[in-house]
Structure 1
Amino acid sequence: MPYSYNLSSGGVQPKKTVSCQSDGKTYEELRRECLQNNELFEDPDFPACDASLYYSQNVPINFEWKRPKDICQDPKFIVGGAHRTDICQGQLGDCWLLAAIASLTLHKETLARVVPHDQSFSDRYAGIFHFQHNQWLDVVVDDKLPTVRNRLVFVHSAANNEFWSALLEKAYAKLYGSYEALKGGSTLEAMEDFTGGVGEMYETKNAPSNLFNILRKALARGSMLGCSIDITSSAESEARTSTGLVKGHAYSITDAEEVNYRGGKVKLIRVRNPWGQVEWNGPWSDGSREWNMIDKAEKSRIMQKSLDDGEFWMEFEDFKKNYDKIEICNLTPDSLMDNTTRKWAVRMFEGSWIRGSTAGGCRNFIDTFWTNPQFKLNLVDADDEDDQCSVIVALMQKNRRKLRKEGLDLETIGFAIYEAPDDEDHLGKDFFRYNASKARSKTYINMREITQRFQLPPGKYLLVPTTFKPHHEADFMLRIFSEKNVDTLYVCFLLLPSQPPSHQL
């Protein structure tokens, strides 16, 4: 049967990590074997060779794989905590990955799960390290790193004897088959891979009217939030504006509040510059006169959480005028701490579009559209504050980065949502011919994942994920985040009666 599971907001236990080694051995088993045999680990699944570096070309320079103990004296896994300054880009176009790692350093609990801190080059050292990705897949690597003239070629730390970021990059490269496979991507892609979360992106100049409410709810659910100011040329990168903001720079959003001000309500948002300095100097900035016009108790409550340098408040309207993009990574309940005030309810499914069976293409191809996988949703309880149900739908095509070396590019994907009749299971051609969709993805696009938030009335719905053209094959994962407990969300994967069992996941 197709693989599916749900994560509700109550009583969630963290999933056990799963080893990605071909022999199934865990990090602890492999390290114990190395220590018993008095040898350093060499990873047979990602060996220190040219194929682990590039797949489309010959290695352009003479790399030498070296362990940290051969690169410097007294190597450390982490020096004085993991910080964004530990992440310096090397000769690889993976700045998107580095930005995600930098964002992780602002979320210490999540970082500690992705990068287990109890690793070192001294205590029980065996040349083996491990990192956790996505649904807590444990990725093991040896500590041989590509160097030229005794210097790391790819990601490295500002401290010459610190190696956690270089080893994390290697684990990510292993996940996708080579370092070259990491060229080009989005920050949200890496954040999703690290955490198993679902990403959303908003343009502040074209944002929904309830954006502030979306941000407040995301913060309450422990989501990772970032924002940035667009640049029009490389010369503008990290250029400072007269208001103290930095263009082309990744900020994090850390809080949102409403305060009573001059007889009305003012929406405020708190932003953090990871530099630890250089702040907004406009209204509601540190020490500005606006703070003297609100209740002292309210001021004390809000300002006591804003003591760190680099963190500042802005009025939300000023924020939207100055910043261009917001990125949200919504985390699943199992990746959050127990003290998170509210958690998403999540349902996940994995399936396939198969030529001649379930690869029906988009609604333009009415003769085959009905053969696509169909998911039934029963939205029962509306959100607390209105009569609508908040639902985030995320459709991801799987393993495409890893399949690049086989010449497989991203498929163009999308989905449609229909109001579902009560008395039918798998719906046929006539239903889709005569019924319009209730909601759908904004566009069909060749991205790894498309994500969209909907406000739907309680009721029964049918969700149909598709490739744009019929007969195009790919594996996919569908994730549905809802505000209410997953018990109110019923999803059913339906297969054509003629589909052979060998096609099922």
Structure 2
Amino acid sequence: MQPPSAGLFVDLEFPACVSSIVCAGDTPLTPLCDRITWLRPQEICASPHLFPENPRHGLGKQGILGDCWFICACSALQQSDKLLHQVIPAGQCTWNDPGYSGRFTCRFWRYGRWVEVTIDDCLPCLGHKLCFSHCQDEGAFWLPLLEKAYAKLHGCYEALWAGQVVDALVDLTGGLVERWSFEVAEESVREKMLSRMLDLKERCAMSCSVLHNKDGAGDLGEFHAFTITDIQRGFTKHGQELLLLRVHNPWGRSCWGGSWGESGDKWALMDQTESSRFLPQIQDGEFWVEKEEFLREFNEVTVAFPVNEKEHIHSFWTGWPLLHTQQICGSWLKGKSAGGSRNNASFPDNPKLWLHIKEESEVYLSLMQSQKAKTGATICKRNSQSRRGSTNSTALYAVGLHVWKVEKRRFNLQKTILSPPVAGTSSHCYDRQLHLRCDLSPGYHLLIPSTFHRDTEGEFLLRVLSSGPIMLRELTSNQPVTRRNEDVMRGIWETQELKGQWKKGSSAGGSRNFSSHHLNPAIPFCVPTKVQLVKVTLRQHCQGNQCHAIGFHVYLVPLDTSLSPLSQEPCASCVPHSHSQEVSKMCDLPPGQYVVVPSTYLPDQECDFFISIAIKLDRKPIKSQETLGQILKEVSVIKLMK
């Protein structure tokens, strides 16, 4: 009798060996590699099939690989046959078909196009059972095959250890995805989010995440993602309305001991007819959670935009179809087009694009950055210092995007970028992709994508989706503008060197997100008349790579001395706080008295710092015949404010 693998396709690019399991060897998979065997589905069960008859039995279980984020994203495919067949093309021969060859092809959306990944069906097992993802129906193999193709795309299975649900959803749908944080949202905003989720539950894939441990009713796990499988309204015996969310844990086991858990005490508030609508619906690993518990225990929700049968993405804020799509690839190159954030005088050197809006439109601007991993596969996930804790991917850069409306195509670039943008990211972020939603009027708009630090090299994809007609093109000439950093620095500067300290409990107040911000040192300086520019530079004294996230704000001292400068909005800021040894910002400040308030992002982080305030004076330098060299006037000041 021939063995089951005789004459079947063998994928030599992603072989059944240790190199396909681990790449760097810095996850718990490494000790298990010697025990893992590779088996085809007909060697694992008697009657393998691709999909279960009941879609609910296709819910994924995680196994020993930390890829809950990917498994949760796969729930999107169970809601739409169109999406499912886009990723797993129909018509492939399976195990009971005459043409079965052991070959399967999957498709993923990668940086603007769909790419095919072909694999064999040898799957990693421990003791003749799948050791990575599998379905509730253990005879269904669509999920472990898709997971293997995704692992091949990334270089190995280990590369899937820790990641972002939003990234996997984009790769599986080619659409737009939003992440909503409950931690920073006001109560009214959270209510709006939940109401929107209830409206979208039939059309959108949804996931929720726990980012840090809480003293809650269940052991949900830190940095763990879940799938929201249903949202329903219910009523108590006394007619009180409830909002209940059904949540699935990819671990495939119960992990929730809350009031509305399977044996929770709150079900007594409902009559038997009402509770029977909810309790019989749960599968292995599922549980119901009431709205208040949900907001308390989960930190954020990830929601994919709905896609119709014509593959048009719909806005879930207005319902309008985003019928018009254009995209451009670009790059930031050191010394040419990597100008950094708006804190840098070289910001105009960044890539610049024209967006022509032909009628008033709802517009989504999506910026996706790309990097090459050491394995040669193109991957983009958070780095090991992020709150997601990805341990084996290349680092992402902090990126941002800003939009200006211009009245005509001939315009003053320097004047434009010094004016407030009509839309832009509130801070540069380390996400693989970010997007802006904006309502834009007809006319020309200038788009500038940037990294936070200048001379940071990378590639990006800028994608525009609009409800109305658009035209997107790159400015063909991207020569550095006349106001280069070296030109700006010419002239007479008066410089102060200031030394200070953030100390726990007294002067380490943290960023403006915290009520203790006023405890930070406030360092005064004066801008005299006829001043062009002020450059503020903050440098922390840190050991090795153990840098805090630092930034600063500049406040105008009010004429009313009874008012604190920090009671008003800053007139200049160097944010977001950055894990850098040094940050700086060039400011145009009118004459007056100011204070600069340097801070770490989090309160109570201790560190010494140095701050330089350089004021450019509006007078011509005096030429001298003597060669005495350049004199630098330094003033050292330590100021402590209660």
Common topology (TM > 0.5): yes
Name the structure 2 match of 1:424.
Answer: 410
The equivalences for 1:332-351 within 5 A come to 336=311, 342-345=320-323, 346-351=325-330
Question: Quick check: which has more Rg, 1 or 2?
Answer: 2
Question: For residues 422-472 of structure 1, what are the alpha-carbon distances to aligned partners after superposition, in whole Å with 9 as ceiling and x for unaligned?
Answer: 1327x64x2356433232112112221122323444443211111111222
Secondary structure of the structure 2 residue equivalent to 1:392: strand
Q: Are 1:78 and 2:51 counterparts?
A: yes
The equivalences for 1:82-231 within 5 A come to 82-83=55-56, 86-116=59-89, 118-119=91-92, 120-123=94-97, 124-134=99-109, 135-204=113-182, 212=192, 224-226=204-206, 228=208
Name the structure 1 match of 2:518.
Answer: none
Name the structure 2 match of 1:378.
Answer: 356
Secondary structure of the structure 2 residue equivalent to 1:416: strand
Secondary structure of the structure 1 residue equivalent to 2:104: strand
Secondary structure of the structure 2 residue equivalent to 1:250: strand
1:49 and 1:287, CA in 2 relative to 1: closer, same or farther beyond 3 A?
Answer: same
Shift of 1:397: 0.7
Shift of 1:45: 2.6
Name the structure 2 match of 1:329.
Answer: 304
Paired residue total: 421
Shift of 1:129: 0.9
Shift of 1:188: 1.4
C-alpha separation between the residues in 1 aligned to 2:66 and 2:217?
16
Secondary structure of the structure 2 residue equivalent to 1:55: coil
Shift of 1:79: 3.0
Question: For residues 168-197 of structure 1, what are the alpha-carbon distances to aligned partners after superposition, in whole Å with 9 as ceiling and x for unaligned?
Answer: 100111111111111111111111100001
8 Å contact from structure 1 (residues 410, 448) kept in 2: yes
C-alpha separation between the residues in 2 aligned to 1:235 and 1:327?
23
Aligned counterpart in structure 2 of residue 479 of structure 1, from 459, 463, 485:
463
Secondary structure of the structure 2 residue equivalent to 1:490: strand
Shift of 1:74: 2.8
Shift of 1:278: 7.4
8 Å contact from structure 2 (residues 312, 322) kept in 1: no
C-alpha separation between the residues in 1 aligned to 2:465 and 2:313?
19
**Greater helix share, structure number:** 1
Aligned counterpart in structure 2 of residue 409 of structure 1, from 384, 392, 395:
395
- Supply the AA of the counterpart residue of 2:100: Y
Name the structure 1 match of 2:22.
Answer: 54
Shift of 1:331: 5.1
Name the structure 2 match of 1:490.
Answer: 471
C-alpha separation between the residues in 2 aligned to 1:495 and 1:268?
57
1:352 and 1:282, CA in 2 relative to 1: closer, same or farther beyond 3 A?
Answer: farther
Deviates more, 1:81-90 or 1:370-379: 81-90
Q: Quick one: higher RCO (CA 8 Å, sep 6+), 1 or 2?
A: 1
C-alpha separation between the residues in 1 aligned to 2:291 and 2:320?
23
Name the structure 2 match of 1:261.
Answer: none
Unmatched 5+ stretches in structure 2: 1-5, 234-240, 250-259, 380-390, 481-642
8 Å contact from structure 1 (residues 75, 163) kept in 2: yes
Shift of 1:128: 0.5
Shift of 1:417: 1.2
Secondary structure of the structure 1 residue equivalent to 2:356: strand
Shift of 1:330: 2.2
Q: Are 1:391 and 2:391 counterparts?
A: no
Shift of 1:409: 1.4
Shift of 1:89: 1.0
**Greater strand share, structure number:** 2
Deviates more, 1:445-454 or 1:222-231: 222-231
Aligned counterpart in structure 1 of residue 421 of structure 2, from 437, 445, 449:
437
TM-score by length of 2: 0.55
C-alpha separation between the residues in 1 aligned to 2:194 and 2:326?
20
C-alpha separation between the residues in 2 aligned to 1:47 and 1:410?
29
Question: For residues 194-221 of structure 1, what are the alpha-carbon distances to aligned partners after superposition, in whole Å with 9 as ceiling and x for unaligned?
Answer: 0001111223575597895997699789
C-alpha separation between the residues in 2 aligned to 1:86 and 1:366?
52
TM-score by length of 1: 0.68
The equivalences for 1:197-346 within 5 A come to 197-204=175-182, 212=192, 224-226=204-206, 228=208, 233=213, 236=216, 249-252=226-229, 325-330=300-305, 336=311, 342-345=320-323, 346=325
- Supply the AA of the counterpart residue of 1:394: S
Q: Are 1:462 and 2:446 counterparts?
A: yes
Shift of 1:126: 0.2
1:233 and 1:205, CA in 2 relative to 1: closer, same or farther beyond 3 A?
Answer: closer
C-alpha separation between the residues in 2 aligned to 1:79 and 1:324?
32
Cα-Cα RMSD = 4.7
Shift of 1:99: 1.0
8 Å contact from structure 1 (residues 393, 453) kept in 2: yes
C-alpha separation between the residues in 1 aligned to 2:442 and 2:189?
19
Question: For residues 234-267 of structure 1, what are the alpha-carbon distances to aligned partners after superposition, in whole Å with 9 as ceiling and x for unaligned?
Answer: 7858679xxxxxx9753257799xxxxxxxxxx9
Aligned counterpart in structure 1 of residue 338 of structure 2, from 348, 354, 359:
359
Unmatched 5+ stretches in structure 1: 1-37, 241-246, 257-266, 289-302, 383-388, 500-505
- Supply the AA of the counterpart residue of 1:352: S
8 Å contact from structure 1 (residues 84, 274) kept in 2: no
Secondary structure of the structure 1 residue equivalent to 2:321: coil
Deviates more, 1:461-470 or 1:217-226: 217-226
Secondary structure of the structure 2 residue equivalent to 1:366: coil
